Amino acid sequence: MDAPICMVTGSSGLVGSEVSAFLAARGCRVHGIDNNQRAVFFGPSGDTRWNQERLQRTLSDFHHHSIDVRDRQAVTDVVRTIRPGLIVHAAAQPSHERAAAIAVDDFETNALATLNLLEAARHSCPESPFVFMSTNKVYGDGPNAIPVQELPTRWDFTDPAFEHGIPETFSIDQSTHSLFGASKLAADVLVQEYGRYFGMPTCCLRAGCVTGPHHAGVELHGFLSYLVKSNIEGREYKIFGYKGKQVRDNIHAEDVASFIHAFWENPRSGEVYNIGGGKTNSCSILEAFALVESFTGRAQVSTYVDAARRGDHICYYSDVRKMKAHYPGWAVTKSLQQTLREIVETWHERMSA
């Protein structure tokens, strides 16, 4: 029996590389699509060639394609040739701050490229599950309208309706999304529509902070990875607003990969899931400082800027009950502490190499 063929865009990035390794370990032939555009967006610190080389070195049936997902003909050709049984679309311009400076590049990378992939899949492999890595920024700054209380080290919701976090039913309207949030929302709706209109097995994973040891964290994207790197190197970390008590839930990329695998085995059409670590795996910046310091033994140097980033969430953690109801065999398996330990160990290894 031939090995299942999977295609992963953004394969050298955090989610893409984790998904590639997860699928390869389960006997899949993985075709990775990545042209190292992250280095263009963020400079040398965003370069992911090291991750591409790691995959090519460690995965026996991994095939790399240096394709720009904005190139419609190239995308059409590779999907027609490969005819993957699963498409995971993780390529993106991922920073809502950077998007304002490169608005056209951002939209073409996030929205137009998604349309290119959906059209290619519709014509060559419409029965293959299509998983899109969306973002919680599709909700804009709407979550900031939820009443919160200030605790010693974090903000938290006071409205009992959000005891478990933000659900998929939360409004996407009447809010400021950032241009990044808008381009991802356009792609998100397209993925849903191809599922509903054409009956294709598609889902959007609205992620918050996905993290893990293979993240090339930079200041504008990759909260925990960048924080660990800053701590180990003794660099100053800038806190932007909210007293450093803004809250995010964090999920290890391996747990994201396991959900994608579960969806592949039992796909639905036009689904949406808020994927994250939930309240249990949430932390504020101040709490993250303390956790990282406990692993490195080094105090974090920081400065406070009394101005929040535009559209930044005061408090956000994902309500994952819908995911667990649809896929009861899936769960978050990596705690925040375990994930941070892995990130610290990997940064030490990369810096000593």
H or E element that contains 122: helix 113-124
Interior angle at CA 50, CA 98 and CA 229, nearest 5: 60
pLDDT value for 317: 98
pLDDT value for 218: 60
C-alpha distances (whole Å) from 220 to each of 43, 46, 217, 253, 350 are 11, 10, 8, 19, 21
The domain spans of the chain are 5-352
pLDDT value for 216: 65
Q: Which ranges of 199-320 would DSSP assign to H, the alpha helix?
A: 223-233, 253-265, 285-296
Q: Which CATH class is domain 5-352?
A: alpha beta
pLDDT value for 199: 98
Ranges of residues in the chain whose predicted pLDDT is under 70: 1, 216-222, 353
Cα(121)–Cα(152) distance, integer angstroms = 50
Q: Which amino acid is at 280?
A: T
For the whole model, what pTM was predicted? 0.94
pLDDT value for 219: 63
pLDDT value for 40: 87
